[in-house]
């Protein structure tokens, strides 16, 4: 592999929608709250989110290198090559790059404060970074001690959308946020739980304490499907209540879309048992579609409704 190919592989671009979708949602919520889309707010949010994303991806590989090595030893043919154990990149290079992109993220937050007088943008950006630090690094290291899934839920499902809403408009919350974010929090928790399915055995040997390990694979899948169905119910309730910013038909459409992929998840669920990596991949893919597609549709609608304000 060329040096560029090694870095592209390490960046895991296929996983980027996990943060780009909440970025887009937060931008849509902010723009809709004030009735126009700010190009500088969009740039600030995108720069911060990409910096945060690369920081998380690289630092996660650095923090999990021992568990990744265990998994490669246990399942040499059952998982993809790991960045550090397989010698794709050196551990120190990953750590330095992660720190650089974390600083870049805070630089974009500072830029947003300078351009738009957003005094809480840098503290909010620092909080987003610290959520992940608490997830993977000492002294808290909640991904190992337990509770990492709830921390991820707060980071992906709440902190990042609110950061982008504030970067875009100077406002944290709106009526639309109150009707979309509760369901998105449930979906973010479902995604966090699902992340542990394919690492069950290696996580146990590596000393992690995930919800999959605590309750077992079957119960974890039931929890994932319960959380996803709960999000659908919340969107149906939002359709009944109604809002000025989002029409009822859009809540109904996205609830139906989420229900379609929930059905696909449930169909695959019985095959996604411990160490059934292909079935687990299909299961998580259906879950991601149930999250990313409806939320992206909400975000695009809100952005189009706001219109370009310069």
- pLDDT means per 10 residues, the chain with 310 residues, are 93 95 97 91 97 96 93 85 93 97 97 91 96 89 92 97 96 88 98 96 92 96 98 94 84 96 96 95 97 97 80
Map residue 37 onto helix, strand or coil: strand
Helices (H) and strands (E) in the chain, counts: 15, 0
What are the residue ranges spanned by the domains of the chain? 15-305
Distance CA 213, CA 208 (A): 8
Pick the closest to residue 15 from 230, 204, 292 (CA basis). 292
pLDDT at position 309: 56
* pTM tops 0.85: yes
pLDDT at position 242: 72
Chain position carrying tokens 């504030």? 166
pLDDT at position 99: 97
Map residue 308 onto helix, strand or coil: strand
Query: At 17, which helix (H) or strand (E)?
Result: helix 17-34
pLDDT at position 136: 87
Residue 46 near residue 23 (C-beta atoms within 8 A): yes
Angle (nearest 5°) at CA 230 between 222 and 224: 25
Distances (CA, A) of 39 to 32, 52, 288: 14, 20, 28
């Amino acid at each position: 592999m060329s040096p560029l190919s090694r870095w592209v592989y390490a960046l895991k671009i296929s996983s980027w929608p996990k943060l780009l979708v909440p970025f887009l949602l937060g931008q849509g919520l902010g723009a809709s709250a004030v009735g126009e889309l700010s190009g500088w707010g969009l740039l600030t949010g995108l720069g911060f989110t990409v910096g945060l994303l690369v920081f998380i991806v690289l630092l996660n590989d650095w923090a999990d290198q021992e568990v990744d090595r265990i998994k490669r030893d246990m399942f040499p043919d059952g998982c993809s090559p790991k960045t550090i154990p397989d010698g794709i990149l050196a551990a120190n290079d990953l750590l330095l790059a992660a720190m650089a992109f974390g600083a870049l993220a805070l630089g974009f937050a500072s830029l947003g404060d300078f351009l738009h007088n957003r005094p809480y943008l840098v503290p909010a950006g620092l909080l987003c970074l610290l959520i992940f630090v608490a997830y993977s690094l000492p002294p808290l290291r909640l991904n190992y001690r337990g509770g990492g899934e709830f921390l991820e839920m707060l980071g992906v499902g709440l902190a990042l959308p609110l950061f982008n809403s504030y970067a875009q408009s100077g406002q944290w919350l709106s009526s639309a946020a109150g009707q979309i974010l509760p369901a998105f929090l449930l979906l973010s928790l479902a995604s966090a739980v699902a992340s542990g399915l394919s690492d069950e055995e290696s996580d146990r040997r590596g000393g992690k304490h995930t919800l999959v390990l605590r309750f077992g694979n079957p119960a974890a899948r039931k929890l994932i499907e319960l959380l996803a169905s709960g999000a659908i119910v919340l969107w149906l309730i939002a359709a009944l209540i109604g809002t000025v910013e989002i029409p009822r038909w859009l809540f109904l459409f996205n609830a139906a879309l989420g229900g379609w992929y929930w059905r696909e998840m449930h169909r695959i669920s019985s095959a996604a048992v411990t160490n059934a990596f292909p079935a687990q991949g299909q299961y998580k893919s259906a879950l991601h579609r149930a999250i990313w597609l409806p939320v992206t549709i909400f975000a695009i609608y809100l952005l189009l409704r706001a219109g370009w304000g310069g």
